[in-house]
C-alpha cells in the first residue's frame, strides 16, 4: 500500500486509536531498544537491568541503565504533532508503549501510557512523588533516603489494570486502529489487536511488515513520510 492510500484510510476514520511504539520517537532523537543503534546494543542482559529483580537486588546497576533512557530535551516530531492535530475534528486516542511522554508534549488529550512513564517518579520507602530531575540527580529520596524509581512497567511486573481497561475501551470504540513504529511482538500490548471492534479498519505503518493476519492495510517505510503527507492533507 502506498502513502496516499494509507493517508486516505486514516482520514476516513472518525474514531481513531493509534498504537505507538519506539519507532515513533526515533525522529525526536530517542533511540529504540533492539535496533543496531538501540539502547540494548552492547549491554549484557539488558532485560535483566530493566527488571524488578535488578531494581531490588542491584539498584545501582538498574539506576545506571535507566537514567540513560531519559531524554528531557527531546521534542515531539511530525508524528506526535499530526496525531494531536487530528483531534480538531476526530475522536483520537493514543495507546503508547513509549515512556517518554512526547505525546503529552504534543498535547494529545486521550493517552494511555501502557508501559508507564519515566516522568512519574516515586519513593519506594515513603511512596511520595519526586521529580524526574531529582531522580536523575540521585536515586535516593532526599526526604527519607529511600530508593526512587520511575513508574514504568519493568520485566517481571504486570500492566496496570486501569491502563489495560482503558486501552480495551478505546479499542472497542474505534472505527480505525493505526499501529505505528512498533514490531508489535511484545505482549500484552500486541494482544490489544484482539480487542478491536470487529468492524474497525486495522492499519500498520512500520519499517518492516508485521505479518499479522488481522492487519489488512500496511505501509512499509518511514512513518515520518506518511505523517508529513497526512499533515498537509489536514491543513488543506
Burial 110-125 (b: 16+ CB within 10 A, else e): ebbbbbbbbbbbbbee
CA 142 to chain centre: 30
Closest CA to 234 of 226, 95, 180, 32: 226
Q: Residue 81 — left, alpha, or beta (φ > 0 → left; ψ -120 to 50 → alpha)?
A: alpha
Q: Walk across the sheet containing 148-152 and list its strands.
A: 129-130, 116-123, 148-152
List the 15-20 sheet strands across, edge first.
111-113, 91-96, 15-20, 176-180, 201-206, 217-220
Task: State the cell numbers at 99.
Answer: 515512556
115 catalytically annotated: yes
Catalytic residue among 80, 103, 113, 115: 115
Residue appearing with cell numbers 472505527: 175
For residue 173, give the nearest of 165, 185, 162 by alpha carbon. Answer: 165
> Interhelix angle for 3-12 vs 223-235, to 10°?
50
Q: How far apart are alpha carbons 201 and 215 in whole angstroms?
A: 8
Nearest to 156 by CA among 80, 55, 226, 83: 55
Catalytic residue positions? Answer: 115
Amino acid at each position: 500500500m502506498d502513502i496516499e492510500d494509507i493517508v486516505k484510510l486514516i482520514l476516513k476514520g472518525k474514531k481513531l486509536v493509534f498504537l505507538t511504539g519506539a519507532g515513533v520517537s526515533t525522529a525526536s532523537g530517542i533511540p529504540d531498544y533492539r535496533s543496531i543503534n538501540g539502547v540494548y546494543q552492547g549491554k549484557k542482559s539488558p532485560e535483566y537491568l530493566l527488571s524488578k529483580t535488578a531494581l531490588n537486588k542491584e539498584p545501582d546497576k538498574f539506576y545506571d541503565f535507566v537514567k540513560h533512557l531519559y531524554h528531557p530535551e527531546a521534542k515531539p516530531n511530525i508524528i506526535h504533532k499530526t496525531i494531536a492535530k487530528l483531534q480538531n475534528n476526530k475522536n483520537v486516542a493514543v495507546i503508547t508503549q513509549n515512556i517518554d511522554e512526547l505525546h503529552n508534549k504534543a498535547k494529545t488529550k486521550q493517552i494511555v501510557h501502557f508501559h508507564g512513564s519515566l516522568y512519574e517518579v516515586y519513593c519506594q520507602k515513603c511512596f511520595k512523588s519526586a521529580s524526574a530531575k531529582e531522580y536523575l540527580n540521585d536515586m535516593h529520596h532526599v526526604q527519607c533516603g529511600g530508593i526512587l524509581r520511575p513508574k514504568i512497567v519493568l520485566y517481571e511486573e504486570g500492566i496496570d489494570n486501569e491502563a489495560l481497561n482503558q486501552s480495551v475501551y478505546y479499542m472497542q470504540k474505534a472505527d480505525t486502529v493505526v499501529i505505528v513504529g512498533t514490531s508489535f511482538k511484545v505482549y500484552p500490548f500486541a494482544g490489544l489487536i484482539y480487542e478491536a471492534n470487529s468492524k474497525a479498519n486495522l492499519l500498520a505503518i512500520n519499517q518492516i511488515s508485521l505479518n499479522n493476519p488481522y492487519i489488512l492495510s500496511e505501509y512499509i517505510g518511514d512513518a515520518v513520510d506518511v505523517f508529513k503527507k497526512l499533515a498537509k492533507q489536514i491543513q488543506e
